């Protein structure tokens, strides 16, 4: 299934597209939103049953705003330097363990909204990433082999980053990762039955029509299962939490010379089976 949230900002309603279908169904009669409560209540399976039983009305979502498919996660966990070629482009050593940092949940916006360049920013950058949405609480998992059982689905994510704030202003990375609008998400969450192998997905990103990133999740240093298992050793992953699993080569900071986003740029990105984003870049007021 594909889980979407449709409507104006702050008024999104949950919508589902069943696996193998192009029809959209209004899920708001049985679920208020696609949030922690939904995933904690085994919402994916209940929604699947409602679709199968014909309990949901069809809804036309054409010409309507598509919001971020996940509402108000408790936390956004991010993995840094997790693609081999990305490490090489920055002349970085391959990490021996996953590099974990956090991103503020209120950075999430829809897949066709506007990215705002922060005040005083000169180095706002792009990062296409595979997002993993957690479906049930994961704590001290015994092995990576069981980790994928805790996944509700996958989505396209853009871990927008301000490199000066992140790398040149001291402290941790978070302040270069948590600016307003810095996590476009969606257009949908694809449930696990729609993703045969999360380590065999093509991901790409274009700026003003020119391809900047093109890779596969097969280039990950630590795969999705390892990331979930590893992270669960240090924090509790709750239903509805999301993990951005790292970006491949081709970020602006790695170009020679480096290149960054400017007001008026158009950012397009996508992942096999997970849809596409198209966002305009604007300056902060």
Q: Is 41 left (phi over 0), alpha (psi -120 to 50) or beta?
A: alpha
Specify whether 89 is located in the same domain as 219: yes
pLDDT in tens, the chain (285 residues): 999 999 999 999 999 999 999 999 999 999 999 999 999 999 999 999 999 999 999 999 999 999 999 999 999 999 999 999 998 888 889 999 999 999 999 999 999 999 999 999 999 999 999 999 999 999 999 999 999 999 999 999 999 999 999 988 888 888 999 999 999 999 999 999 999 999 999 999 999 999 999 999 999 999 999 999 999 999 999 999 999 999 999 999 999 999 999 999 999 999 999 999 999 999 998
Specify whether 169 is located in the same domain as 259: yes
Specify whether 180 is located in the same domain as 260: yes
Specify whether 32 is located in the same domain as 119: no
Specify whether 35 is located in the same domain as 141: no
Specify whether 27 is located in the same domain as 89: no
The model's pTM is 0.97
- Domain boundary (35, 66, 97) is at 66
Specify whether 180 is located in the same domain as 278: yes
Specify whether 101 is located in the same domain as 84: yes
Closest listed residue to residue 249, CA positions, set 282, 275, 215: 215
Encoding tokens for residue 71? 């509402």
Report d(CA 242, CA 231) in Å as an integer: 12
Specify whether 85 is located in the same domain as 158: yes
- Domain boundary (25, 43, 66) is at 66
CATH number at residue 143: 3.90.850.10
Specify whether 241 is located in the same domain as 115: yes
- Domain boundary (66, 95, 117) is at 66
Range of the domain at 29: 2-66
Specify whether 278 is located in the same domain as 179: yes
Report d(CA 136, CA 193) in Å as an integer: 16
Tally of structural domains, the chain: 2
Q: DSSP label at 174?
A: G
Specify whether 95 is located in the same domain as 35: no
């Amino acid at each position: 299934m594909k889980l979407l949230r449709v409507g104006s900002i702050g008024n999104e309603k949950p919508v589902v597209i069943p696996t193998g279908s192009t029809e959209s169904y209004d899920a708001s009669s049985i679920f208020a939103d696609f949030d922690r409560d939904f995933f904690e209540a085994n919402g994916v399976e209940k929604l699947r049953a409602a679709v199968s039983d014909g309990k949901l009305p069809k809804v036309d979502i054409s010409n309507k705003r598509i919001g971020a498919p996940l509402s108000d996660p408790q936390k956004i966990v991010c993995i840094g330097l997790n693609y081999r070629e990305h490490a090489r482009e920055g002349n970085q050593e391959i990490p021996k363990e996953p590099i974990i940092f956090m991103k503020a949940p209120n950075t999430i916006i829809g897949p066709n909204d506007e990215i705002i360049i922060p005040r005083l920013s000169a180095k706002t950058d792009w990062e296409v990433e595979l997002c993993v949405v957690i479906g049930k609480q994961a704590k001290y998992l015994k092995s990576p082999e069981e980790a994928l059982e805790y996944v509700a689905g996958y989505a396209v994510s853009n871990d927008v980053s301000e490199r000066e704030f992140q790398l040149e202003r001291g402290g941790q990375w978070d302040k270069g990762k948590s600016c307003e609008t810095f996590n476009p998400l969606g257009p949908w969450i694809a449930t696990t039955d729609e993703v045969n192998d999360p380590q065999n997905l093509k991901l790409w990103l274009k700026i003003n029509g020119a391809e900047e990133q093109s890779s596969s999740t097969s280039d990950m240093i630590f795969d999705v299962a390892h990331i979930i298992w590893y992270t669960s050793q240090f924090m509790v992953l709750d239903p509805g939490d999301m993990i951005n699993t790292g970006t491949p080569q081709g970020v602006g900071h790695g170009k020679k010379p480096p290149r960054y986003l400017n007001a008026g740029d158009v950012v397009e990105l996508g992942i096999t089976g997970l849809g596409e984003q198209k966002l305009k870049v604007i300056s902060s007021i």
